[in-house]
Amino acid sequence: MLSASDLRKGLKILIDGAPYIITHFEFSKPGKGQSLYRCKMRNMITGNQFSQTYRSNEKFEKPALEERKMQYLYNQGDEYHFMDTENYEQTFITKEQLGDNISFLQDNMELDVLFFDEKPIDVTLPIFVNLVVTVADPWAKGDTSGNDTKPVTVETGYVLQVPPFVVEGDKIQIDTRTGAYVTRVKE
Amino acid sequence: MLDKKRLHKRAAFFQAIRFFFQSQGFLEVDTPIRQPLLIPEQNIVPVPSGTHFLQSSPELYMKRLLAAGCEKIFQVCRCFRYGERGRLHHEEFVMLEWYRLDADYTDLMLDCEGLFCFLQSEMADCTFPVPLHEPWERMTVAQAFQKYCSVSPARAIQQNRFDLLLVEEIEPHLGKEKPAFLYDYPLELASLARPKPGQPKLAERFELYVSGVELANGFSELTDPVLQRSRFEEEYAKMDAGSGRPEKMPELFLQDLGRIDQAAGIAMGMDRLFMLFLDCDSLGDAVTFSPEELDM
């Protein structure tokens, strides 16, 4: 059991039988008054959001979530297929459920898939992925925009800002938590 | 972490506060930060420190100094409240408290007006979020509940919704045009404040708000030791039996309280006030090191 004082951004709790993740959290407390825990939450299956304010005496259950190591195989339309690396069972996750993670999925990539009630609901990517730059405009010297970065597109179609020395065909490392460029990878 | 410029501002801010009170004839005092027994307050969880607790407020010892004959005293000190962590809450924070003998809560409101105007004149390169010219807005708790929630404070307490409505429906509106005093609280929400003469269900307590941020809590002190003892007993009865706090009466305090005729005192959050002068909206931007910046 969790109590209200355990609530924080990113925590997963069970509400009416469904797993929710807290996306915004604010502690507040009027002078001499009760502690109030204001949460915005997202249903991890349907994506529905709602807000609720809890008091310190409220208790919560953790959803029974299970992480399995899986390998990304291929996509068929909006269905993204994964294989359990231990028992070779296959399953798919919808494009909607994957959300922004799609930008960093590579064939044969190993990652953690989150299951609730035997159904896959989310993936946890490796923190760093290496992707090949497929489109990069040459850096126009004397660009007066003031920013020493330029946009490039990587093999998954994701677009990001990188230093001007990165060229088409380079492999770059990206932090999947922020989506930002980390370094150029030499092979 | 504050940059050098803000560190200078923070130092100037505290210097100005001390100068203001000293120039008004207040004596700066210091009292024990570690205390064996804290005032029973249902909604404050103390931070243990060996056999003692870190203070959640210096109020007990400030009032004992009043009883010893000090007429005007102030203190800037650190206070600690366990588990309070958010945009406007840190477990460790700087409090300013000041007390006046032979005064009531309206005198403290005037002090607040004078203090803020002085601070603004001293901190010329800072812009306070609202104009400070007097008089500030004054609204009773009953008026605020009627205006923003169409419910009486008594009814809200009965439904256990008082704090929720205050935080979600009322506070965001307070102190938008100029600082605002919310005053005359239900008696059960002010265990150390004096009942309002002629209106025994109300306590002479107020809170000060600027831009929806609660800055200070002040009241006319309850100085009747018999009544204060029974208020403490009621507060202990409301507290969790398993809170781990000794359920003892602060006997020396109660003895001293009987020697005070009339007094008023106020506690003001300094980190929050400095945050407003910096025009920030998070405490973490106003303290030298925020909790996230500490080695774990």
- Distance from C-alpha of A162 to C-alpha of A159, rounded to nearest angstrom: 10
d(Cα B38, Cα B61) in Å, to the nearest integer? 11
Handedness of CA A82, A88, A90, A93 (dihedral sign): negative
Q: Give pLDDT tens digits along chain B (296 positions).
A: 899 999 999 999 999 999 999 999 999 999 999 999 999 988 899 999 999 999 999 999 999 999 999 999 999 999 999 999 999 999 999 999 999 999 999 999 999 999 999 999 999 888 899 999 989 999 999 999 999 999 999 999 999 999 999 999 999 999 999 999 999 999 999 999 999 999 999 999 999 999 999 999 999 999 999 999 999 999 998 887 656 677 899 999 999 999 999 999 999 999 999 999 999 999 999 999 999 999 98
Count how many residues are written for chain A.
187
Amino acid at B287: V
Q: Chain-centre distance of CA B162, in angstroms? A: 19
Is residue B259 a contact partner of residue B69, using CB atoms and an 8 Å limit?
A: no
CA B224 – CA B258 distance, rounded (Å): 6
Over its C-alpha atoms, chain B yields an Rg (Å, rounded) of 19
Looking at the complex, report in whole angstroms how far the Cα of residue B162 sits from the nearest Cα belonging to chain A: 9
Which of A27, A28, A32 minimises the CB distance to B43? A32
Residue among B86, B164, B214 minimizing CB distance to A31:
B214
d(CA B51, CA B58): 18
CA distance A1 to chain B (A): 18
Angle at A14 between CA A81 and CA A43, to 5 degrees: 50
Q: Do B43 and A36 touch (CB under 8 A)?
A: no
Q: Are residues B163 and A31, on separate chains, in Cβ contact within 8 Å?
A: no
Asked if the Cβ–Cβ distance from B163 to A53 is below 8 Å, we say no
A30 touches chain B (CB under 8 A): yes
Tell whether A6 is within 8 A of chain B (Cβ): no
Residue A33 forms contact with B (CB below 8 Å): yes
Query: Token digits for B121?
Result: 């004149």
pLDDT on residue B294: 94
**For B7-50, how does the pLDDT look when each residue is reduced to its tens digit (9 = 90+)?**
999 999 999 999 999 999 999 999 999 999 999 988 899 999 99
Chain A residue at shortest CA distance from B206:
A31
How high is the pLDDT of residue B163?
95
Could you report the per-residue pLDDT of B104-134, keeping only the tens digit for each? 999 999 999 999 999 999 998 888 999 999 8
Q: What is the mean pLDDT of chain A?
A: 90
Q: Which fold has domain B4-293?
A: BirA Bifunctional Protein; domain 2 (3.30.930)
Give per-residue pLDDT as tens, A38-90.
999 999 888 899 999 999 889 999 999 999 999 999 999 999 999 999 999 99
Mutate which of A7, A35, A58 to disrupt the B interface (most B C-beta within 10 Å)? A35
**Interface probe, candidates B38, B42, B43, chain A, greatest A C-beta count within 10 A:** B43
Domain ranges of chain B: 4-293
Interface with chain A: mutation pick from B81, B88, B164, highest number of A CBs within 10 Å: B164
Residues with Cβ within 8 Å of residue A7, at least 6 apart in sequence: A13, A22, A25, A37, A39, A54, A60
Q: How far apart are the first and last CA of chain A?
A: 49
Q: Which residues contact B170 (CB under 8 A, 6 or more apart)?
A: B144, B145, B148, B149, B182
Complex ipTM above 0.95? no
